Structure 1
């Protein structure tokens, strides 16, 4: 970047930081609740914050590259959003919202056992920590390249900034900052799309993309090894949305800031247009990149460097755009890190410290407010240190660590979703040991499937690219082949190889099927061999059961059990 772009980048990041922390500290009391989950935040701010939570720099750079190399089938995510987010809002969320959980994994203790809660929360902690390495490395690399910093210093600065946001502004500061960062991301992507329309002919983009199969979006092969078929998105993609936005503590703590269930549901539903808009802009940028490089694929270091390369070399006529774009990439990483640090802090505090450290119990209180706040302030820096070490491992080992992180993220998310599914939708499964057996089996199967993709080096098959960069006059002809849309692996045979080729979109579906089947078998088995009386099931723990709540009674929940300042039961729905 030149001097102007560098100054723009620094100014934007400083402005967002100052504004986020300033707004977070207005009329805010420094209670342990505010430090951990925030309060008094608008619906739009929370919706922007939720949307940015999983919008890492990896996805910001990777989605357009996915379209460039493998076509625009990810547009089917927009259909998935319309189907999945209402289910999150009206099926999953009401159960968790009315239970007033201190941690989403507390639900599993109420429904099954303490062991199920600890296993799920431990899985979430490991899943998030490994993903932090990737989420930290990508924006750090952008910062290092933009300002000519050493990569180690960039990683240290990025990780520390995210933790400082939480220290100075608490969770509310993290929410406001991530909301502003999400707004910056939307503005920068919209500006890039407008610059593309101004610079290039839209019909030329369409024609070249059409001829090169980039607009083929109707892959109807019902084959789980087809990476991005319609069925992979509609079936598997919905499961991925549920694992991220329905049963993940990172998003639940955002929803629970809202004073009423209706407002929390609005937060979920607002993610439909925001995510859909992002998908459309990503796709358009990917198609535009291909239209520019249709006859000469550039040599870039990695696929996710395609978009920065394109902006730097073809949109540099718009002064300041590169600085804004780098700020957006950096913001995407920072928002993910901030949300992850906060969620990890909450889960460790509620599921581990408060339940496994008996010395903190005093006069009926799990932990006093001063120590509560102290732990909340320290833990983000602990996770920042761990993330820094892992990010340096990503730098050293590169692709393999990235693949391991994403595989663990997908496998762990599916296993967590599966145990919540049997809790919410399978009333016949009441034996805690049956649920634990199903949970363990599901986690092992999920890891087995994900590990196979690493062992066999499973990679997607790209659509054809042209290397006619030396004034070649031969025509560009592309024909559809059955191998497009699938994956390839090292030459071998066996069931593990075939299983390892399953599309990552189906990881959650596989986990849910295994958990439901094993759970019912284990329940029936324990019923036959056990003489104990059947466990009485609390109907409030089921998704479609009518909720029992006394009319016109206000229950004042203790602060440690309340995720929102508005804890009355007879609220407006």
Structure 2
């Protein structure tokens, strides 16, 4: 797979990496405090933030995995598009019910809210869970992407890790969240352009879009599966688990995960925050649809060129279908475009890694270092510590990537399951804080533990239940358990953070101040357009069947 990568292509890759470093250095001169470094002085507009949110979701695993799912995976096909129906609905929930509170509190770490509402133990439990899960998942991501780079370029695993990780860590350390967001925008544009180039190439080879569509396996054209429910029938990707499970997953990820909330808090006001979410809610589907169409093209190309699949590297479980897109890029695109296509793959990887490293640093600084350090903090000292913490997490995740090899294949298959173990329970903790007055910190920790435990039992003993339902199951188990413990005798444990009668409702104050006073846009009315967009997408998927 390496013979067609020319010196020109390597030059394009090198120029891109050097350009990122130059941009990060230029942005670093504007930083004077940790707020500049972690939330860009709360002065960014909605477009870069909205596009950055989209870019983070379009990781290399998605760009390679989604086309493979559409083209080759048993039980796959265009069913993946059902998942996207939940995105605009999740954005409505975040716009109207979540982000006004976080904007009101001027947070850097989203978990600081939990100490204010519950107690320090709740804050540290959730932030510690985030640090563990994200660091481990990032190491696995580095490992998997480095394998892809090695197979494509022949550089070797060690050099592939350094190529991907070193540049990402260096520009992340210098650029901060502003560098993360602006580089994400650049990376998203490169990725979208190259996906369009690949799609045009595939349709040309197939004889046009209509001919490609007609040649695609009819069973894989199914976009909506109402025949199954995923609750014991062994069908993971049915409509209802993808809609409701996806809704809970996306609200938790975009609203309770530091890597996402942090960039939303970098905007200048509540209107900019909500507009960024609106942009993501509208534009994400076209991007996902684009790389699913690439999957359609790859499937048709493989059917018409039998030697294509045999050229894929093999594993004990068969061909590595995730490498189908880069293999096509290398063999079908001319010199120069091959380099840009590899840049697009690197860009997708970097856009996932950079935001995670910055958020790991922010959580560590806010929830641990600054929270427990009693000395005097100057703005300069905070900035130096923040950069140092990003570098530390970068080194940690890169080193961990060399030690997950034995378990990575299993983890890669189950990475979404791992997230779904905790997404619902984590969301439940925040929702309990927003809406349930009597529940205290120790009680939500009990609920969180039970929610994760029940999801774990589902994983180990009930594989016929779609893992997407775990997001819903874990949510309701956590809520019911926490509320049940709170109404038991002695349920209001001292110091647990339960609100007393007559105490001001911080959540209601935030909604009233930001949506009804500060906002210049009627977000109740504008959110209705996301519901209209949801209906339009549903009609489109019905039409495609």
TM-score range for the pair, normalised by the shorter chain length: 0.7 to 0.9
Distance 1:159 1:223 in 2: 38
Q: Which residue of 1 aligns with 2:89?
A: 83
The unaligned stretches of length 5 or more in structure 1 are 453-495, 552-568
Paired with 2:518 and 2:438, the residues of 1 have a C-alpha distance of 30
* 3-state SS of 2:448 partner: helix
Give the Cα–Cα distance (whole angstroms) in 1 for the partners of residues 134 and 485 of structure 2: 30
* Deviation, structure 1 residue 6: 2.4
Q: Distance in 1 between matches of 2:170 and 2:51?
A: 20
- Any residues of structure 2 matched to 1:57-206 within 5 Å, and which? 57-68=60-71, 69=73, 70-201=76-207, 202-206=209-213
Evaluate the alpha carbon distance shift between residue 401 and residue 79 of structure 1 in structure 2; reply closer, same or farther with a 3 A threshold: closer
Tell me, yes or no, if structure 1 residue 331 matches structure 2 residue 340.
no
* Cα pair 1:124 1:412 within 8 Å, conserved: no
Q: Name the CA distance, whole Å, in 2 between partners of 1:416 and 1:228.
A: 23
Q: In structure 2, which of residues 318, 321, 327 is the aligned counterpart of residue 303 of structure 1? A: 321
Deviation at 1:339, TM superposition (A): 0.5
2:499 corresponds in structure 1 to 535
Contact 2:38 2:108 in 1 (8 A): no
Separation of aligned partners in 2, 1:243 and 1:89: 13
1:417-470 superposed Cα distances (whole Å, 9 cap, x missing partner): 221122224x244233222211222233334444x2xxxxxxxxxxxxxxxxxx
Aligned to 2:215: 208
Structure-2 change in CA distance of 1:282 and 1:293 (3 Å): same
Could you say which residue in structure 1 is the equivalent of 2:52?
Answer: 49
Deviation at 1:42, TM superposition (A): 3.1
1:348 Cα deviation from its structure 2 partner: 0.7
Q: Which residue of 2 aligns with 1:32?
A: 34
How far apart are residue 265 of structure 1 and its match? 0.4
- Of 412-421 and 339-348, more deviation after overlay is shown by 412-421
Match for residue 387 of structure 1? 397
Structure-2 change in CA distance of 1:411 and 1:262 (3 Å): same
Displacement of 1:529: 8.3
Q: Distance in 2 between matches of 1:168 and 1:160?
A: 12
**What are the Cα deviations for residues 20-61 of structure 1, in whole angstroms up to 9, with x where unaligned?**
543x247x2422221222234332211122222232211111
Match of 1:248 among 233, 257, 262: 257
TM-score using structure 1 length: 0.80
Q: How far off is 1:116 after superposition?
A: 1.1
Deviations 1:259-314 (A, max 9, x none): 1100110111111233111211121111111112236471333231121123333x
Deviation by residue 1:101-136 (Cα, 9 ceiling, x = unmatched):
231111111222211111111111011001111322
Change (3 A) 1:30 1:234: same
Q: How does 1:529-568 map to 2 (within 5 A)?
A: 535-536=499-500, 540-542=505-507, 547=512
Provide the C-alpha distance between the structure 1 equivalents of 2:139 and 2:212, rounded to a whole number of angstroms: 36
Listed as ranges, the matches of 1:273-422 within 5 Å are 273-294=282-303, 296=306, 298-299=309-310, 300=312, 301=314, 302-313=320-331, 315-316=332-333, 318-355=334-371, 357=372, 360-362=373-375, 367-403=377-413, 405-422=415-432
CA contact (8 A) 1:77 1:279 kept: no
1:192 & 1:151 partners in 2: Cα distance?
Answer: 27
Contiguous gaps of at least 5 residues in structure 2? 315-319, 522-545
Question: In the aligned structure 1, how far is the partner of 2:416 from the partner of 2:428?
Answer: 18
Deviation for aligned residue 1:542: 3.5
Rounded Cα–Cα distance in structure 2 between residues aligned with 1:43 and 1:429: 36
**In structure 2, distance between residues paired with 1:513 and 1:184:** 41
Q: Which whole-Å CA distance do the structure 1 matches of 2:266 and 2:289 have between them?
A: 30
Distance 1:21 1:194 in 2: 36
- TM-aligned CA deviation for residue 65 of structure 1: 0.8
More helix by share: 2
Whole-Å separation in 2 of the counterparts to 1:105 and 1:572:
28
Distance in 1 (alpha carbons) for counterparts of 2:121 and 2:97: 25
After the TM superposition, which segments of 4 or more aligned residues of structure 1 sit over 6 Å from their partners?
A: 528-534
Contact 1:61 1:307 (C-alpha < 8 Å) held by counterparts: yes
SS of 2:221's equivalent?
A: coil
RMSD across aligned positions (CA) = 2.7
Contact conserved, 2:216 with 2:300, CA < 8 A, in 1?
yes
The number of aligned residues is 497
2:336 and 2:481 map into 1 onto residues whose CA distance is 56
Q: Deviations over 1:355-381 (max 9, x none)?
A: 2x3xx324xx6x333331222111122
**CA-to-aligned-CA distance 1:142-184 (integer Å, 9 cap, x gap):** 4434543221122134222222112322322222112211121
Give the TM-score, by structure 2 length: 0.84
Cα distance in 1 for residues equivalent to 2:101 and 2:66: 33
Q: Distance in 1 between matches of 2:273 and 2:340?
A: 31
Rounded to whole Å, the distance in 2 between the matches of 1:333 and 1:226 is 30
Distance 2:184 2:511 in 1: 36
Distance 1:127 1:528, change over 3 A: closer
The CA distance in 2 between the partners of 1:279 and 1:530, in whole Å, is 47
| Range moving further from structure 2, 213-222 or 143-152 | 143-152
In 1, the alpha carbon distance for the partners of 2:354 and 2:492 equals: 48
8 A Cα contact 1:235 1:506, kept in partner: yes
Alignment-derived partner of residue 555 in structure 1: none
Post-superposition offset of 1:210: 4.4
Q: Distance in 1 between matches of 2:206 and 2:342?
A: 22
